[in-house]
Amino acid sequence: MNEETTRALYERSLSTLVGGVNSPVRAGSQPYPEFVERGEGAHVVDVDGNRYLDYVMGYGPLLLGHDLPDPVREAVDGTVDAGPMYGLSTDLEVELAEFIADHVPSVERLRFVNSGTEATAAAVRLARGATGRDKIVVMQGGYHGGHESFLVEGDAERPRPGSAGVPEAFAEQTIPVPFNDETALADAFERHGDEIAAVITEPLLGNNGIVRPVAGFHDTVRTLCDEYGALFVLDEVITGFRVGGLSCAQGKYDIEPDLTTFAKIVGGGFPVGAIGGRASVMEAFTPTGEVFESGTFNGHPVAMAAGLATLEYAEENDVYEHVNSLSDRLRTGLSEIVADHAPEYAVVGTDSMFKLLFTRDEPADRPDTYPRDGSDVDAGDTERWQRLFRPAMKERGILLPPNQFESQFVSDAHTEADVEQTLEAYKDVLA
């Protein structure tokens, strides 16, 4: 495999980009980050001409793959031709908001922003403004973007900044509890209930190995929020319009949040974020309320056009049936391979998300769900996954995320032949 141009480009990037990258997760690729020239359906081609079957899929937004179907491409091209942006309202943002509200019952009003981080940050600000409280509950191992309220580690009694530059005062207002731990969540409310503005959680942990919810966990979140007057914020940045189809993960798992955050697929591969929820809560945003939120690029017409056309295409075609069936085949095949060659590893995922985790020492007292929380994933052999397994898969033409924690995604462009090629590569590497 020739990577001469990639290596030279990385050397150049180190002189102008911090660490040679614009997002630190990309630096996890060994021995240097990939530089992509173009996408082709379910594949990417790098600057050296190497072609890879892609399961990164932009970390989730590319439900349809790299080649946009004609209706989506025409919608994007037509919007660009009309003008890049205006700083004014367009019909596209109204139509996309109507589509989301029509398919996600918990959403009555929306506000579009420009990223998942912006969406979650604004949702928590809204919850604080609506309740007059400061503390938020987060899940250990959950990810809600690079905002000070979320870059917090530790536990409920000893929260601490998870990054340099995060003031202790922010960490003091954040209460981390284990995902799927109803007792820990109840204890947090018992201790701090009259100070808690919101619980924010993903439907499943999507940036920490795909940890699915145990039965009843989200019901407990809902009950405790109602009892103590807090808001339930569901982060569907990753799962929105991927898990559960057009009703999202909250439809699949029968979750009733007050607020939902979206990004990724709702922009069709372009930068986007959104907060949606009950009208009585959402109206606290300016201009109808007193919680400030604004952005020059909010409701950017190209992102609105791409997102709307992508969702309409998914609705009118068998996209979810296709991606979910392929992912089922991948998980089934991987489970068979792991049973034969690496029984200490775990195959996880749902719908069009999947992952092989290098987990070890599965607890005997948790046979019902594994992994059950982020700590189970953290206990895996992450160095082996990153430094040995991922490069070996890449040599066989399969591109996976740079670490064990990020999910892998199937797109509408993937085929049954792609799945068989992928399973052969896994078998070859693990045997």
Give the span between the Cα atoms of 276 and 241, in whole angstroms: 14
Torsion angle (degrees, nearest 10) of CA 276, 188, 359, 43: 10
Q: Is residue 264 flagged as an active site residue?
A: yes
Identify whether the C-beta of residue 357 lies closer than 8 Å to the C-beta of residue 377.
Answer: yes
Concatenate the DSSP letters of all residues of 275-303 into one string. EEE-HHHHTTBTTTSSB----TTTT-HHH
Cis peptide before 287 (omega within 30 of 0): yes
- Among the listed residues 32, 181, 253, 264, the single catalytic one is 264
Catalytic-role residue among 54, 181, 235, 418: 235
What are the percentages of helix, strand and coil residues in the chain, rounded to 5? 40, 15, 40
Token duo for residue 400: 């996976």
- Can you give 339-363 as a three-state secondary structure string? HHHCCCCEEEEECCEEEEECCCCCC
Determine which one of 52, 55, 143, 253 is catalytic: 143
For residue 143, indicate whether it is catalytic: yes
CA gyration radius for the chain? Answer: 21
Q: What angle do CA 99, 102, 108 make, to 5 degrees?
A: 100
Question: Which positions are annotated as active-site residues?
Answer: 143, 235, 264
